Structure 1
Amino acid sequence: MTDFLAAALQLTSTSEPELNFAAAEEQIELAARRGAELVGLPENFAFMGDDERRLELAQDLAQQCSRFLVTMARRYQVVLLGGGFPVPAGDSNHTVNRAELVGRDGQLLARYDKIHLFDVDLPEGNTYQESATTTSGRELPPVVDVPGLCRVGLSICYDVRFPELYRHLVGAGAELLMIPAAFTAFTGKDHWQVLLQARAIENTSYVLAPAQTGRHYSRRQSHGHAMVIDPWGTVLADAGVSQGAAIAPVDNSHIGRIRAQMPSLQHRQAALF
């Protein structure tokens, strides 16, 4: 496997899907022009709006998102992650939050429905109840061997707070962990970067973390700072708070060196836990 450039895209998505698709394509094209071969879109890349509107759009939006990912991957010849979009869950009151990884030829490589749902009351006064209209995924996230790149493990946003999920991914062979997100501004300022670095360090894996940024609607504001982090925990690229991308090289030999220098994965006493 050769080294390659990976891009974590950063968007300020709204409740207007067509505008969101246009903004996403602009960033995909720019990343591809810079040489990125693996590109990640953030959670909710096609829609950030109220729950009622999301449920109303879900049927059509799910199909639009899948088609968009296939078209973009083929057009720009990149491996592309759609970091989370609504898909009907079998009743009119719920969706699943689905990520899809698509190859350069438009083939679906992997799919994951978000397991951990964000149900919290924050001190800032905002309450989030994702489970009210979203159904939790029931299958562990997959690891896929992307030809010519590396072995990639999927997750979505709030998953980052559950290290056992990433132990599953690295145990299944992941070398790069994709963590697309729409992290709130309140939690992101304290927890986003340190959680990403922890997942990279404890799993001696690259982390690619696309992100939402800025104000989307009403009081909903995202933290930004899409990142690429290496297996030592070094932040290789940070997109700041503007729409754009964090782009950095993924060095496959570096993964091996770090895992040899810090063989913590081999030292796990899993039988004791």
Structure 2
Amino acid sequence: MITQLSTIPAHSIAVRRVGCPHFMAPEVVERRQYGKPVDIWAAGVLLHVLLSGTLPFHGSGRRLAEAICRGKLHIDSSQQWQLVSDSAKDLVQQMLSVDPKQRITIQEVLNHRWLRDRDKGLRIHLGETVEELKKFNARRKLKSCILNAVNSSKWYPYDDSNADSFSDFGDEEVSSCAVATITDSLDDIYCLQETQPQERAHLLVLLDDTHLHTLLELYDRIASKVAPPLRTPLIDAVQSARDAADALRELDHRRDADHRDLQELRDLLCRPHFK
């Protein structure tokens, strides 16, 4: 497999956008031809995260795309990088070169002095990086929780096998857009918190985003809202549901029973909020 991969030209003719937006290389974002250098870029983003606990480029949508294409790093001005060696910084910068022709190759990465002399490096605990990694993982888990909640069966009212298979297609599309809006807003909030003073113009654009203002106001109202007390289920609710299921099974064998009504009641009992 390695031999086969080595025969692929460094700059192939692929032009589709693929992968996680924060790990996309500039040539992918701009829909230009790309090849192996995009993998070096993605590995550079990952190395940036491991060394600093932060992504090199922040934001969502168009703002993220513009930041990636600018390719401006804040290695010298960020506190997390103060204890990182110069050779490690150099490797990250070469892997995140905007020009794919100037970007370091995989062989050059493996021969870089930071990897070649790794046994000689000082063992320093990167406390700031560890704390940032904890925040990074917390944001990642929050996004996963949002996606898991939407994909849960409790998100949907019930499964109607007789319904038109295309009837809820529009609802699914709306739900996908809503989830994307929420996850993008989390990236924008992080961008507000982490944007460096040197990126003042980028920050002003973000502050002028009325759509983000609306979402922040919504989140603020949700956070300040007092949740109503939970209604505890009746003590015999489980037994009543079992009795109803038994009665339905018995009625199934009666000739005078209206099976459509029985099926409707059975569907009602199968809804998530009844379970």
TM-score range relative to shorter protein: under 0.3
Comparing both structures, which one devotes a greater share of its residues to strand?
1
**TM-score, length-scaled by structure 1:** 0.22
**TM-score, length-scaled by structure 2:** 0.22
Larger radius of gyration: 2
